[in-house]
Each structure stands twice: as C-alpha cells, then as structure tokens.
Structure 1
Amino acid sequence: MKGFIVRLLDDIKGNFGIFDNRAYMVFIFNKGTEVSYQTLWSNSKVLVDKQQELFNILWEVATPLALRRKELEQEEKPHYQKIL
C-alpha cells in the first residue's frame, strides 16, 4: 500500500506512539499549554499491549479523512455519535 491512512477524532487532546509492538511513548501536556515538556517512554509489555488495545478502539471509532472532508465540504456535522 502506498501513502498513509488518516482518521480523525474530534475533541481528543494528546498523542502517543507504539513502536514495533515493543515500546510506548506518550507526550505529557500541562493544563492550558500546547507544548509538551515531558515524555514517558516504556517498554513494559503489559503497558504496550494495553495502549495498543486503546489505539485499536480509537482507530475504529475515528472518522476516515475522505468522509470528514465531505462533511466539511457540505458544512454538515454527522447525525450520529460514536461512543467509546
């Protein structure tokens, strides 16, 4: 496959990464700031597995970019809600 697959979630702040199913990294933000001054890195298998599960859930409920682009072009919000 060429390129990237992009999905979007509204109202989610923060980001994290899972590397080769072996390590987890999260950026820690303070309230009221958009700059991360701290990062947590872990290679705990239990933590990595749980964060992978979280990522899979978020990925499933996220809106594909193509659909979100159509929504924005039509200036409509979707008539449904996604529940985590």
Structure 2
Amino acid sequence: MKNFENQVALVTGGTAAKEAIRGLGRVANWKENHPEQYEQVANNTPLKHFGEPEKDVAPVVIFLLSKDCQYMTGQILMDEEDV
C-alpha cells in the first residue's frame, strides 16, 4: 500500500434519503395523509425526527470531499435512522 492514494467512505442516506423521494410511489404524502403514524415513526428514531438530505447529509459529503478530510479513509458514516 505504499502508493495508496485513494480515499474511500460510504455515507448512508437512511430515512433522510427516503424523505427526498417521498413524492414518489407509495410514500407520497405520507406525512400529510397519515400524520399520527408519521409522528409515531419519527419519534422512534434516536433524534426524534427524520433527517433532511440537504441539511443533514450534504454537509457530510462536502466534508468528505474537503481537505479537512484528507487523513480519513475506509469509513462508513450512517445517519441516525440507520443505527
């Protein structure tokens, strides 16, 4: 591994990513059509709410692409719903 120059990281989207596609298919308007069920499921996550891809996942990806992350490799970063 003397010439190792690649960095590898995996960011899982979990529920944050699922919320990004909530307008598609069977999950369309879940929050609006079933607010009690939506809140019950959200309250069962460690942080008591669903993540937002732009707010909660994108900054992690930006960090991974930055010079601040130059000494990190082989990591899996999970959002709180994946725990």
TM-score by length of 2: 0.34
Structure 1 or 2: larger strand share? 1
Q: Which has the higher helix share?
A: 2
TM-score normalised per structure 1 = 0.34
> More relative contact order in 1 or in 2 (CA 8 Å, sep 6+)?
2
Higher Cα Rg, which structure: 2
